[in-house]
Structure 1
């Protein structure tokens, strides 16, 4: 039992320490970025270039913050990492054999993107839940959203709202307009197939839906509750 206890304590320390450090320090990379680099190396993709530049909360357009909440997790400010209602609705939807629908919150997505791989195993889902609890316990909501916006993928090799804003709109993230922020948020379910620079009719329709949701949430005043 002594050896088992030491192993458990070592695992707790190994997972808790980076969460505590990243509460104040910008992450230099993420698990998803590292995986992208490895994949490009193994495929000998010499055209691949990873773009990532941290930008603090104050230098991100309020419209961008609201857009991802409207698109991905409208109860973000109210839950502790898990939206049980959305999960139940997604399960019922998927049971009917319709197009699969996810219910991951921004907290879960941040935990997965930052620390884990893309596998769909039960072990990965358990690790995601564990890290989600840690993030909610030790980070304020603003920090979770700040890191999510900085590590989310917006295109091939493009990570974070700063690089996405410069790549697609040639402006800093602080100057993003609502329609631009909504378009960036619209690609988040699949930033490889859904392209900001070549928006499909589906993507443009999704942008309009996000803009409506942003208004229904009360505009950027909604962020005051975070």
Structure 2
């Protein structure tokens, strides 16, 4: 006699009880949904009124579309320009044009000293020197050094001459894409272009451009032009002291001189050289 087989509980469908009664779906919705829907309707109604207001005025509609198209052209154009300059040497900048125009009607020579050199053909002592003097957190920040900005704000409350806190990335964005001056519009564009070049170019390209476009003397731009003009040799063979002296004049290259350094520039050169050793030498910027 075969024993009775146990029931397969995995295949036997469970006993279904009576289904719970469903009430009114609208009654089960949270009370806030009604307020949210009314707010959405109000917003869409206001937007429809604005559109109708613009359509009823052809001149205003034409101005609106012109401004919108201009904004889109500038936005996508600037994006494409930044991408192009990731691979193409930066031969001209607004600062170079400004300095050249300033020579009109003066005894100052209008000849521009500028020679582009790739990052691999520039002494890494020059790269380390500008990082040590201008932006020691350059390898790690994302375009903005917020700690330096906070320190500068605190110090400027008591200083007669305000201290800046611009990073190398911000200086490149300003020199390559923007004009000189102080305004909220220019500062906002500086933030925009700084974020773009950090995203698209990367650290090595930003530093390469900075070493080629930074003003290093009267009508002199880039460390290659400065090295040949003031030291008589290429930037590829710059020594630590020579690179530190170039970096020392960067805050005001039209006032300070590489060829005839003042006591201040000599002291600042020694300070930068010490900072270069303190950071560990060229290995500090090796992995940009």
Does residue 139 of structure 2 align to residue 77 of structure 1?
Answer: yes
Q: Which whole-Å CA distance do the structure 2 matches of 1:187 and 1:4 have between them? A: 43
- Greater displacement, 193-202 / 43-52: 43-52
Which runs of 5 or more residues in structure 1 are unaligned?
none
Q: Which whole-Å CA distance do the structure 2 matches of 1:82 and 1:212 have between them? A: 25
- Deviation, structure 1 residue 129: 1.0
Partner residue, 1:26: 89
Does residue 191 of structure 2 align to residue 110 of structure 1?
Answer: no
SS in 1 for 2:286: helix
Q: CA RMSD in A?
A: 1.3
SS in 2 for 1:225: coil
Q: Please report the TM-score for the alignment, with normalisation by the length of structure 1.
A: 0.95
- Deviation, structure 1 residue 48: 2.5
Does residue 69 of structure 2 align to residue 9 of structure 1?
Answer: no
The correspondence for 1:158, drawn from 203, 210, 220, is: 220
SS in 1 for 2:103: helix
Q: Which whole-Å CA distance do the structure 2 matches of 1:195 and 1:216 have between them? A: 26
Q: Which whole-Å CA distance do the structure 1 matches of 2:268 and 2:106 have between them? A: 35
Does residue 202 of structure 2 align to residue 140 of structure 1?
Answer: yes
Partner residue, 1:198: 260
The correspondence for 1:37, drawn from 100, 103, 112, is: 100
Q: Size of the alignment, in residue pairs? A: 225
Q: Please report the TM-score for the alignment, with normalisation by the length of structure 2.
A: 0.75
Does residue 149 of structure 2 align to residue 87 of structure 1?
Answer: yes
The correspondence for 1:57, drawn from 79, 101, 119, is: 119
Q: Which whole-Å CA distance do the structure 2 matches of 1:45 and 1:90 have between them? A: 38
Q: Which whole-Å CA distance do the structure 1 matches of 2:108 and 2:274 have between them? A: 41
Partner residue, 2:285: 223
SS in 1 for 2:256: coil
